[in-house]
Amino acid sequence: MLGLMQSQPLLISSLLEFAERHHGDGEIVSRRVEGDIHRYTYRDLAARSRQVARAIEGMGLQFSDRVATLAWNGYRHLEMYFGVSGSGRVLHTVNPRLHPDQIAWIVNHAEDQVLCFDLTFLPLVQAVHARCPTVRQWVALCDTDRLPADSGVPGLISYEQWIGAQPSDYAWPSFDENSASSMCYTSGTTGNPKAALYSHRSSVLHAYAAALPDVMGLSAKDSVLPVVPMFHVNAWGIPYSAPLTGCKLVFPGPALDGRSVYELIEAEGVTFAAGVPTVWQMLLGHMKPGGLRFSHLNRTVIGGSACPPAMINAFQDDYGVEVLHAWGMTEMSPLGTLCTLKNKHLALPPEERMKIRLKQGRAIFGVDMKIVDGNGDELPWDGKAYGDLLVKGPWVVADYFRNEGASPLYADKQGRGWFPTGDVATIDADGYMQITDRSKDVIKSGGEWISSIDIENIAMGHPGVAMAACIGMPHPKWDERPVVAVVKKPGAEFSREDLLAYFEGKTAKWQIPDDVIFVEAIPLGATGKMLKTRLREQLKGYRLPGL
């Protein structure tokens, strides 16, 4: 017997329809590429998203055809999120920090037909357009009078020209909720990039989940600043959870330096912000010298790479901002776990609570996870046993777009498919997961594993260290030994020996790095994460002391 409830597909357009009807005057504020501040409402967003849909219809694009963006976080990008997906086409958000060759490769792989870009990325478009034969229309996300006269990009039009003449009375179509809505390529540190292809259903379910109190806890009372880019995993789903809750949205555009982000947080009464640790490092670096304070910010989600304890402490103790440590990946839309306490933890002393907060957190309803050993057997949840972390759920990939390889899923003994995350983790008795390492970064010394994240976290606790990356170096006896590459804070004075002494008592003796290498900068990848492969290349020829 079937239930007798209305059957309504979960579609991205419904999020926008809801916001227009119930939060029509809710504010959306964007810092534009031009530097000025733009303000409008969910009502305006809805009308202009319908114009985008009309412009796409007008070009004769078919259902599921791809429309790409190369853009910062801003209102026009948001209109593309709804206009493209809502009309049944697939939004392909391209990461502008990728190498031009990679960008050309993924635009061709996705067969993008329209590509809309912020003028910041005009040089990039000039470099790749001739190699992207599937793109029939290049659109600059700007006012018509800002369009460069001789861009060298054939047929280039402005976004306002493209959508301006369109009526805004488009009716969002209804279709199967499992239809593709958007796609994002993983950075592909090895081999070609692979695309996660999200569906309307997966995106809407993820939007509900992300807004839950023990996840991001978004509400209509919040003013929300996604610093995390809309070109990488849909800014952690905030563009979808925001209209679902009716919160105020604040977009930073291209200005991601500490000062600009701080000014925006203060000017727009931001209560909640989300970003990767490197961005918050710049923010705290700007605030500390001037003794600046936050007037409204009360919580921030930090994820994408391990959040150093020193950062969690600084936010909490110095600024009264609660840090929610989160873990996820492109293949998971991206949220998997988020770290909030349980009722029973509230009575614990502060140090005990802090130990929990450093973990990557508990699974969100919708995501199941387990850790397994080399034979695929599940390991205990005791906070000590570590193994490969596997996940499954309705917003986890089943396969990659046009994947020519084998299925990425791993079938367990019951025949259920799990996605192997490539992370190594522990899970404790309360279900809190802690990432030990990415499986390719873990350091194998004398048959034991050393967590590069643990070593980096300790190094980052030293007052003179701006950034630290720990990698394994070949050793004839131990297989590998850890060394830590360190960027000093400006003006900091300390030696290799000082830093090695700082490790004493903070980790087991055999885990203390064999060497400290001072570097100008640690190479970062397209999503702001440390690129250890490149660091290893840079340190080619390096030999451990005494070898």
Residue 463: cis peptide before it, omega within 30 degrees of 0 = no
Any contact of residue 534 with ligand ADP (CB under 6 A)? no
Residue 320 to residue 325: CA distance in whole angstroms: 15
The DSSP call for residue 511 is G
Any contact of residue 275 with ligand ADP (CB under 6 A)? no
| Nearest-approach distance from CB 520 to ligand ADP, in angstroms | 23
Residue 323 to residue 214: CA distance in whole angstroms: 12
- Residue whose C-alpha is closest to residue 106's, from 124, 93, 119: 93
Count of CB atoms within 10 A of residue 338's CB?
24
Residue 420 to residue 414: CA distance in whole angstroms: 16
> Contacts from 55-59 at CB under 8 Å and sequence distance 24+?
55/83, 55/162, 55/163, 55/166, 56/83, 56/84, 56/87, 56/89, 56/114, 57/87, 57/170, 58/166, 59/113, 59/114, 59/136, 59/137
Any contact of residue 420 with ligand ADP (CB under 6 A)? no
- Residue whose C-alpha is closest to residue 519's, from 478, 457, 459: 459
Active site residue 449: yes
The enclosing H or E element of 183 equals strand 180-185
Question: Contact, 31 vs 252, CB < 8 A?
Answer: yes
Any contact of residue 438 with ligand ADP (CB under 6 A)? yes
Site string for ligand ADP, 343-372 (x = CB under 6 A): -----------------x------------
| Nearest-approach distance from CB 525 to ligand ADP, in angstroms | 6
Any contact of residue 303 with ligand ADP (CB under 6 A)? yes
Any contact of residue 400 with ligand ADP (CB under 6 A)? no
φ, ψ for residue 391 (rounded to 5)? -135, 155
Which of 288, 355, 444, 489 is labelled catalytic? 444
23 or 392: whose CB is closer to ligand ADP?
A: 392
| Nearest-approach distance from CB 298 to ligand ADP, in angstroms | 20
Active site residue 529: no
Stretch that binds ligand ADP, among 98-106, 143-151, 319-327, 454-462 (CB under 6 A): 319-327
Q: How many CA atoms lie within 13 A of 154 on its CB side?
A: 8
Which structure tokens are listed for 401? Answer: 């777009």
Any contact of residue 187 with ligand ADP (CB under 6 A)? yes
Q: Note the helical H segments in 31-145.
A: 42-58, 75-86, 100-110, 122-128
| Nearest-approach distance from CB 75 to ligand ADP, in angstroms | 25
- Residue whose C-alpha is closest to residue 242's, from 28, 487, 532: 28
Stretch that binds ligand ADP, among 79-87, 260-268, 347-355, 419-427 (CB under 6 A): 419-427
| One of 282, 306, 314, 321 touching ligand ADP (CB under 6 A) | 306
Any contact of residue 434 with ligand ADP (CB under 6 A)? no
13 or 186: whose CB is closer to ligand ADP?
A: 186
| One of 305, 333, 451, 457 touching ligand ADP (CB under 6 A) | 305
Stretch that binds ligand ADP, among 61-69, 74-82, 259-267, 302-310 (CB under 6 A): 302-310
Any contact of residue 329 with ligand ADP (CB under 6 A)? yes
Which structure tokens are listed for 27? Answer: 């504010």
Any contact of residue 435 with ligand ADP (CB under 6 A)? yes
Any contact of residue 300 with ligand ADP (CB under 6 A)? no
The DSSP call for residue 489 is P
Residue 434 to residue 451: CA distance in whole angstroms: 11
Which of 449, 507, 529, 533 is labelled catalytic? 449
Active site residue 331: yes
Name every residue whose Cβ is closer than 8 Å to that of residue 77 and which is 6 or more positions away in sequence: 69, 71, 141, 230, 251
| One of 286, 529, 534, 536 touching ligand ADP (CB under 6 A) | 529
Active site residue 444: yes
| One of 31, 66, 248, 325 touching ligand ADP (CB under 6 A) | 325
| One of 417, 422, 464, 523 touching ligand ADP (CB under 6 A) | 422
User: Which residues here bind ligand ADP, judged by CB under 6 A?
Assistant: 186-187, 303-306, 325-327, 329-330, 334, 360, 421-423, 435, 438, 527, 529
Residues labelled as active-site residues: 186, 331, 444, 449
